[in-house]
Structure 1
Amino acid sequence: MVKRIRVLQWYETNPYRNLALEEYLLDQLPAGECILYLWQNRHTVVIGRNQNVWKECSLALLEEEGGYLARRSSGGGAVYHDLGNLNFTFLAHDEDFDVEKQQEVILNALKKMKICAVKSGRNDLTVNGCKFSGNAFYHKGGRSLHHGTLLVDVNIPSLSKYLTVSSEKLRSHGVSSVRSRVTNLKNYCPKLTVDLLRQRLVGSFEEIYGFSAAPILEQEICMQEVEKLYEKYCSQSWKFGRKITASYTLEHRFAWGGIQIKALVKGGLIKEAAVFSDAMQAQWPSQFEQALTGSLFSSQAMAQAALQTPQTDELTRKMAEDVAQLLLEQRL
């Protein structure tokens, strides 16, 4: 049961330090406490834990124009952040983690500003059918986080030019471009600013949970521990992951997200595998990747590898079954 709520209002805009601080808060979270962490990144594309950088982002253009590429701990798809966007993170122990309640904090704050927003699809918040918030989730050691974007006054042309969303994904949402699918909240409340939204979210957090929120002060944070995590998030190995020379590639899009399987095959065995996905489940793609490595290169063996991955909930069972069926259809 939540016995205490706390708020961290953070104003640094370096994406690697912000993600490091988020993981630090998760690692240090006391039982019975729920935290709302509010933060911003400058000029950044953030990709999901299992995504292929080169497919999701116009990387050369982003770097040429002084932007940052960051990879988060959670699953899901790529997003663009600038200072017209406010990021939120809810952190709680698993027994207190309540996505509906956490989303209600956001929807309630917007309702008080006469913005009628709703939950939509697998992880979005929308207004008038357009997305202003994509949400993602991560679970670690009995603790969980729920984070997402809130587009207040984001540069939509920049969002469009840096994100390279597949036409198949756009079709699944019934739109022709990223730009036509997203909206800024300022369009529905002209007086809205990032600072005003921060205030409204804190007030709504207190109202929904029924407690006064105690602030987290900077002196309570062990910045040495944050810096260790910072080194991980800004490292090339974390941002880009492994890039293999694949002799076989398979791509498909399911209702739960897209998947790309790459395999280096030698002597009928899979010597190396890489699995990319924008699925919300953060751990399953890497578990499947491990199961594929060393497997026979055949539909039956690869399908069996998918079915042998840990299936901890309905989503992972569905992912395993769908991928196994897809592989069997290839008749390798």
Structure 2
Amino acid sequence: MIPLYTRLCFRRILTSKESFLLCNQRYSQSLKSNPSHQVLVSTSDDIYTNLALEEWLYEKENLTDKSILFMWQNKPSVVIGRHQNPWLECNVPRLRDCGIDLARRISGGGCVYHDLGNLNCSFLKAKPLYNRRQNLDLVVRAITSRWDVDLQVNVREDIVLEGLYKVSGTASKLGKHNTFHHFTLLHDVNVENLEMALESPMKMGVQSKATESTRSRIKNLSECDFTIDFMSLVDVIGHQFYKEAGVQGEIEWINPKDESVFPGVSEIRKLAEGWEWKFGKTPKFSTNRTFTSDKLGTELSLICNFEKGRIHKAEIVCDCSTPTVKEYTDTLQRELLGQRLCREDLNQVLKVHDLSHLVRHEQLVIEWINQCCVQALCTAV
């Protein structure tokens, strides 16, 4: 069997520039004809691009007399809900080291991991037609019509496999006129990467009112039938969407970056990728950590308050009460104020400068204080 990634790459080769133009031309024409139902599939695997197009469709489309099913996949990425704290939901330093994108969506809900083994479905409808359960049931009917799998929607409106394993995380956005309900569908996700990415190193000593994710046992659909993959799911769910709507239609592959078709989408993407949206929108939180070094015979207390992803207040207390150490912690407190909780801002602040003029014990204590700050702030400087 040809690996999933190879098949997807081959599919993109077939979808040449001419095909992109044809798909986008068809979509442009459909905007004028305003069909009652559309199934759109993104040719991009970039999380910021796909979220930007979803937001564009939600903001710009007139859904009074139509509904849209938008499907896409992403390269490895973590997506948090609008009101979540990224540092508590995932391993921010490891994501950066591993090249895994972090995104904040405009809908609520919990944190999810995406890769090419995950299908994303977004149902965009007018507000009177908003019905999460109906959308989930449609997807279950589509999958069970082709494959013999034990799939159902539970009372929490999760799609579960074999009555136990969650294969779909769901969230929604309701506006004055338009709505969207989107959810993931795990078919061949890398579980090891998922667990690594969603394991936060910053849970200890944190107080936060941000929305917390609920962890669940998961399982890939392909474990039940190896023929379940991205392309087959797009096909069966797309056609089920048209079937239940009582209309005939084509599954349209679109280029979500095309400004001639989606004017303004690149600006939405730019904002989605920016630090201020991903991290600066984090609700207020605080950390309170205590560290002890038996070797140095020293204890350190570090209390930080964060607002908009920046250090609003820092209190560093070390029981090594020499004037030099006290002066260092006082200076460090002042320099931390206003810094973003990221490597670029904290690298210089937490970088130990020349300490050769100090006695050996003070050198070791100051170096240890910096190590504690790095650990508490999870910057991996």
Q: 1:276-291 to 2 correspondence within 5 Å?
A: none
Structure-1 residue corresponding to 2:240: 204
1:144 is matched with 179
Give the percent of matched residue pairs that are identical in Structure 1 and Structure 2: 32
Query: Which of the residues 16, 23, 35 maps onto 2:48?
Result: 16
Partner of 1:35: 68
1:168-220: CA deviations, max 9, x gaps? xxxxxxxxx95x70010001112111101110111111122211235555579
How far apart are 1:141 and its partner, in Å? 3.0
Task: Letter of the 1:237 partner, please give it.
Answer: E
- The C-alpha deviation readout for 1:310-330, integer Å capped at 9, x for no partner, is xxxxxxxxxxxxxxxxxxxxx
Structure 1's unaligned 5+ residue stretches are 168-176, 250-261, 266-271, 273-332
1:125 aligns with one of 136, 149, 159: 159
Counterpart position of 2:331: none
Checking the alignment, whether the CA contact within 8 Å between 1:134 and 1:148 is kept in structure 2 is yes
**Residue number among 149, 158, 164 corresponding to 2:193 in the alignment:** 158
Partner residue in 2 for 1:56? 89
Tell me the TM-score normalised to structure 2 length. 0.59
Distance 1:100 1:53, change over 3 A: same
Q: CA deviation at 1:138?
A: 0.5
Question: Could you tell me which of 189, 213, 225 is aligned with 2:249?
Answer: 213
1:140 CA displacement = 2.1
SS at match of 1:189: coil
The two structures, once aligned, show a CA RMSD in angstroms of 2.9
Return the letter of the residue paired with 1:16.
Answer: Y
User: Is the partner of 2:227 in helix, strand or coil?
Assistant: coil
CA distance in 1 between counterparts of 2:280 and 2:148 reads 43
Unaligned runs of 5+ in 2: 1-33, 205-213, 289-303, 313-381
Question: 1:306 maps to which residue?
Answer: none
State the AA in 2 paired with 1:98.
N
Compared CA separation, residues 86 and 221, structure 1 to 2 (3 A)? farther
* Pairing of 1:147-186 with structure 2 (within 5 A): 147-164=182-199, 181-186=217-222
Q: 1:64 to 1:208 in 2, by over 3 A?
A: same
Give how far 1:116 is off. Answer: 2.3
Q: Please, which moves more after superposition, 146-155 or 235-244?
A: 235-244
* Residue in 1 that maps onto 2:274: 235
Provide the rounded CA distance (Å) in 1 between the counterparts of 2:174 and 2:39.
20
Greater gyration radius: 2
1:239 deviation in Å? 0.4
Listed one character per residue, the Cα deviations across residues 9-60 of structure 1 (whole Å, up to 9, x for unaligned) are 1120111111000001111222211100010110100001100010001010
User: After the TM superposition, which of the residue ranges 157-166 and 78-87 deviates more from structure 2?
Assistant: 157-166
The answer to whether the 8 Å contact 2:56/2:262 transfers is no
Question: Structure 1 residue 245: deviation in Å?
Answer: 7.6
- Larger CA deviation: 146-155 vs 220-229: 220-229
